[in-house]
Amino acid sequence: MKYLKSTFLFLVLSATLSFLFLCCTQEKPFPPDSTTVDVVIKIKHRASGQSLGEGVSFLDSAGQQITFSRFQYYFSNIRLNQSSSENGFRESASYHLVKALNSPDGFQIQLKGIPKGVYNELVFGIGVDSATNRGSSSNLGDLGQGNGMFWSWSDEYKFWVMEGNYQASGIQGNFLFHIAGNACYKEIRIPLVESGSGNNSISLVSNRTIVLEANVLDFFGGPNSIDLKLTNDVSSIAAGADKIADNYASGFFTLSGFE
């Protein structure tokens, strides 16, 4: 009996030591990176307080009834700037094709690996910068030539595409804005001010969402007011593409808040 008891204790001790050895030698996972956060940019496209969608009609300030059938553009070269340094955050390969009519709750762009810190400005471009604005330079992802945003005859990208129909003063018609050309690439700066905080910046210590509102009434209203009876087919600088570009660069995008 004594022999059996000793054997049993030996087996229990051996099993316990083996288990502890395995636990100690098993490769432990790396701890999560606690120095960065993720940020979502949510763009809400609005007109008269309603979300845009294919076939949704709205009235602009000039009384034009406008209905979109297609509305998309490139949102590119995203940066989050810090007032205290030049480091900030710059997204690599930063080209996003925003399809404004497909996301009634807001089109989302996810940014990963942003260093924690205080940021005071969101910077982005509308269009494709001159270094990349050639079909031969990139044909991947949102820059793929199958996205309907590329002119093969000029080997360049369309930055901004708006199509639809209108009714104004008893006149009905279609409109088409296909905006391209390096002169129509626009950089936009949005101050990141959190309402009620008293600070001209936001502190990114956890994942956040930056909500932008894109108001098409402001686009049609100025700074170059668009009368669709007179301006309804624009696809070159000569036809007024530069004025369309000024409109999407001036007041079309505003900061709505944070989530």
CA distance 181 to 238: 11
CA distance 233 to 42: 30
What pLDDT tens digit does each residue of the chain (259 aa) get? 444 444 444 444 454 445 444 444 444 444 455 799 999 999 999 998 889 988 889 999 889 999 999 999 999 999 999 986 667 899 999 999 999 999 889 999 999 999 999 999 999 999 999 999 986 666 678 998 889 999 988 889 999 999 999 999 899 999 999 999 999 999 999 999 987 766 788 999 999 999 999 999 999 998 999 999 999 999 987 789 999 999 999 989 999 999 9
CA distance 190 to 60: 24
Residue 258 CB: number of other CB atoms within 10 A?
16
